[in-house]
């Protein structure tokens, strides 16, 4: 639940870059998108380009009209601490 949201470093996020363990930063928020990957309308491969990284730029370049906060509400696990060095 929201009471468990915490600050998460890019170093920790980078450890979760697998198909079966996939975290991603979108707009400063950290999401565990492991269960969303197979439902991504753009395909698994496209989404996995930002696995373990800050996917904000790719996301905004591809579909700025998509409401990630709404779609991924249940997947949010925290906020990204500091600058996103591994933005793709």
Q: Minimum CB separation from ligand HEM for residue 23, in Å?
A: 10
- By C-beta, is 41 or 83 nearer to ligand HEM? 41
Residue 59 interacts with ligand HEM (CB under 6 A): yes or no: yes
The torsion of the CA quartet 65, 87, 77, 29, rounded to 10 degrees, works out to -50
Q: What count of Cα atoms within 13 Å lies in the side-chain half-sphere of residue 76?
A: 20
Strand, helix or coil at 11? helix
Q: Minimum CB separation from ligand HEM for residue 11, in Å?
A: 20
Rounded Cα gap, residues 74 and 64, in angstroms: 20
Q: Minimum CB separation from ligand HEM for residue 75, in Å?
A: 8
Residue 26 interacts with ligand HEM (CB under 6 A): yes or no: yes
Straight-line distance from the first to the last Cα atom of the chain, in angstroms, rounded to the nearest whole number? 28
Instruction: List contacts with ligand HEM (CB under 6 A).
Output: 24, 26, 33, 40-42, 46-47, 49-50, 55, 58-59, 62-63, 66, 68, 71-72
């Amino acid at each position: 639940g929201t009471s468990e949201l915490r600050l998460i470093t890019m170093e920790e996020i980078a450890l979760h870059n697998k198909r079966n363990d996939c975290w991603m930063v979108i707009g400063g928020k950290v999401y565990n998108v492991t269960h969303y990957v197979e439902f991504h309308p753009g395909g698994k491969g496209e989404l996995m380009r930002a696995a373990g990284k800050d996917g904000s730029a790719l996301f905004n370049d591809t579909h700025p009209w998509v409401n990630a906060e709404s779609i991924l509400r249940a997947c949010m696990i925290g906020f990204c601490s500091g600058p996103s060095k591994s933005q793709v």
